[in-house]
Amino acid sequence: MRIFAVALLAIAFAVPAAAGEDLVQLKKGPGLDKVETNCGACHSLDYVEMNSPFPNATVWDAEVTKMIKTFGAPIDESDAKIIADYLKKNYGS
């Protein structure tokens, strides 16, 4: 419930701030829907593109794990694997 409240609050502030800005268009591919739904629920998808020159497969796996275990992202295990695979394939170094 707490994460829902935080996400709702973030959206309330993000919508006016995003007015007039272009939405991030991540690379098309299997798993993009999971990234947009799960990752985009808590933060801007800009982070994927901004950080993409640096992470390799190990780093993307660690990032997905950190979002779940440290920040409490409500992502189930099967979606986490799909998200990590998408990030590694499309934004890995």
* pLDDT tens track, the chain, 93 positions: 677 666 666 676 665 555 555 677 899 999 999 999 999 999 999 988 888 778 999 999 999 999 999 999 999 999 999 999 999 999 988
Taking the C-alpha atoms of residue 8 and residue 91, their distance in angstroms, rounded to an integer, is 28
Domains in the chain: ranges and CATH? 2-91 (1.10.760.10)
- Residue whose token pair is 């098309």: 28
The torsion defined by the Cα of 63, 10, 72 and 33, in degrees rounded to 10, comes to -60
What is the distance, to the nearest Å, from the Cα of residue 67 to the centroid of all Cα atoms in its chain? 9
The letter for the amino acid at 48 is V
pLDDT at 93: 80
